[in-house]
Amino acid sequence: MEGPYRIEDYIKDAKVRKIFGQVFDQSTIGAIHDLANKGFIDYLEHIISTGKEAHVYKALDKAGHARAVKIYMIETSDFRNMRRYIEGDLRFKNVGHDRRDIIYLWTKKEYKNLESFSEAGVRVPMPFAFTKNVLVMEFIGKEQAALPIKEDPIEDIAFLYETLVESIARMIYKAKVIHGDLSEYNILNFDGTPVIIDCGQAVLFNHPHAMEFFERDLKNIANYFEKQGIKKSIDEIKADIKRAKEKI
């Protein structure tokens, strides 16, 4: 979708209405309107990423601050897989089977995870608001969105390692939440500082599969650093995380 579009114009301008109608379903348009009425979104500028589960837009809020708007796709999201990450997380009880309800809960879960990680001192996008399947957060980037380290590596690899180890320590010891999809695809390079994104799947540490997700995260991290010439076993990374606990 080519922007920028002012959300208000959706009401006044048939052309904008038509474009929105082709891109979003009615309830998503309702959610965008709700967030626009509350001042969290004024303009949708352009699309940053179109995945199977979510589309991410650059937006401006009423005061002109850059925002990232992540919109989960009702039709194409794998809600059965999402359900496996919600059920067993004690923050969410009585998880139903309805596709929409699960995707709405997933959006809320990403908001809550970003909030917990921020409070624990992990550098993630600050979450601002959510309605249904639409989440508004801090935009990471300048004019353009920051790229994942997969595409735009952080040069100071030792700094990246130290920061990630400390971030993981903050996540598990302070937030008590396991990220669950940590990899070079979900860490953005923001001017040399790593910013961890994509937190929808993150679960409380006492979720029945938390340890399995944690081991997978560490394996991804170990593989990434090995490719960058830093060979660390999973046990070494665990020991580094334990050591980092002392300084957080």
Ligand X SMILES: Nc1ncnc2c1ncn2[C@@H]1O[C@H](COP(=O)(O)OP(=O)(O)OP(=O)(O)O)[C@@H](O)[C@H]1O
Taking CB under 5 A as the rule, does residue 198 contact Mg ion?
Answer: yes
Measured CA to CA, the distance from residue 54 to residue 8 in angstroms comes to 23
Catalytic positions are 181, 198
Point out which span in 58-66, 101-109, 151-159, 193-201 binds Mg ion (CB under 5 A): 193-201
What DSSP string runs through 166-227? HHHHIIIIII-EE-S--STTSEEEETTEEEE---TT-EETTSTTHHHHHHHHHHHHHHHHHH
Residue 104 sits at the vertex; the CA angle it makes with 211 and 1, to the nearest 5 degrees, is 110
Out of 16, 59, 71, 145, the residue judged to bind ligand X by CB under 6 A: 145
Cα separation, 69 vs 44, whole angstroms: 8
How far is residue 49's CA from residue 123's CA, in Å, rounded to a whole number?
A: 21
Number of residues in contact with ligand X under rule CB under 6 A: 21
* Whether the Cβ atoms of residue 166 and residue 173 lie closer than 8 Å to each other: no
The residue number with the shortest CB distance to ligand X is 51
Question: Which residue of 40, 139, 161, 225 would you call a contact of ligand X, by CB under 6 A?
Answer: 139
Q: Of 51 and 96, which CB lies nearer to Mg ion in the complex structure?
A: 51
Mask: binding to Mg ion, 9-48, rule CB under 5 A, as x and -? ----------------------------------------
**Is position 210 an interface residue for ligand X (rule: CB under 6 A)?**
no
Contact status: 56 vs ligand X (CB under 6 A): yes
CB closer to Mg ion, 186 vs 189? 186
Tokens of residue 98, six digits: 């309805």
State yes or no: residue 148 binds ligand X (CB under 6 A). yes
Cα distance between residue 43 and residue 53, in whole Å: 22
41 binds ligand X per the rule CB under 6 A: no
Residue 148 touches which of ligand X, Mg ion, none (Cβ within 5-8 Å per kind): ligand X
Q: How far apart are CA 74 and CA 133, in angstroms?
A: 8
Tokens of 188: 């953005």
Instruction: Please pick, from the candidates 54, 69, 82, 237, the single residue that binds ligand X as defined by CB under 6 A.
Output: 54
Q: Which two tokens stand for residue 150?
A: 């997969």
Give residues in contact with Mg ion (CB under 5 A): 186, 198
Give residues in contact with ligand X (CB under 6 A): 48-49, 51-54, 56, 68, 70, 125, 137-141, 145-146, 148, 186, 197-198
